Amino acid sequence: MRPRLLLGAMAGMACLAAGTLLAQDAPRLRGPEPFTVEQPAPPMQRAITNDVRVRRNYPDQPPLIPHSIEGYALDLHANKCMSCHARRFTEQSQAPMISVTHYQDREGNTLGGLAPRRYSCLACHVPQTEARPLVENRFVDMDALTEPERQPGGRSNR
C-alpha cells in the first residue's frame, strides 16, 4: 500500500474505534421512545435540605448549598441570599458569612460591599438533589493521593 493510502486507512480505523468507545460510554439521555414522540416531563428530583454543610472536594470549591432555596428572589432589586449571608445579618441568621473573596473585585481591591461579580450566587453555589448520577463518579479526593497509607486499602509500607 502507498503511504498516503495507509495513513488514510489508519485514520479511518481510529475514528471507528473512537466511535465505538463513545457509544459505549455515553449515558442514555433520550429515553426509550423515539424523539418525535412527546413524553411527559420526568418528576422533579427532591432537593437535599438537611442543613449539613458538605465537605469541599478541594479548598477553593464554592461550597454546596445544604438548605432549600425555593422561592428565594435573586434579581436586580433583591438578593435573598444576602439577607442571611451578609456580614451584618449573620448574627441573627447564624449563616456562615460570605468570605472575603466576595468583597474583592477582579483586580484584588477590597470593596465596601458585595462585589458585583459575586452577586449572582447561584452561578457558583448549587444545591444538590437525590438524583442518581448518569455516569459513575470516579473523582479521587486529594487526601487519598497525598496520604494513600491512611486510606482503607491503600499502601501500608511507609
Give the span between the Cα atoms of 24 and 3, in whole angstroms. 32
CA 53 to chain centre: 15
Nearest approach in angstroms of CB 114 to ligand HEC is 6
Give the span between the Cα atoms of 143 and 69, in whole angstroms. 31
User: Is 69 a residue that touches ligand HEC (CB under 6 A)?
Assistant: yes
Nearest approach in angstroms of CB 36 to ligand HEC is 38
67 labelled as ligand-binding? Answer: yes
User: Is 70 a residue that touches ligand HEC (CB under 6 A)?
Assistant: no
- Binding to ligand HEC by CB under 6 A, coded x per residue (else -) over 125-154, reads x-----------------------------
Interface residue with ligand HEC, options 48, 67, 103, 151 (CB under 6 A): 67
For 85, counting Cβ atoms within 10 Å of its Cβ (0-12 exposed, 13-18 middle, 19+ buried), the class is: buried
- Binding to ligand HEC by CB under 6 A, coded x per residue (else -) over 78-117, reads -xxxxxxx-------xxxx-xx-xx-----------x---
77 labelled as ligand-binding? Answer: no
Q: CB-based contacts of 27: which residues, under 8 Å, 6+ apart? A: 134, 135
- Cα angle: 36, vertex 40, 46; to 5 degrees: 135
CA 33 to chain centre: 29
- Binding to ligand HEC by CB under 6 A, coded x per residue (else -) over 8-47, reads ----------------------------------------
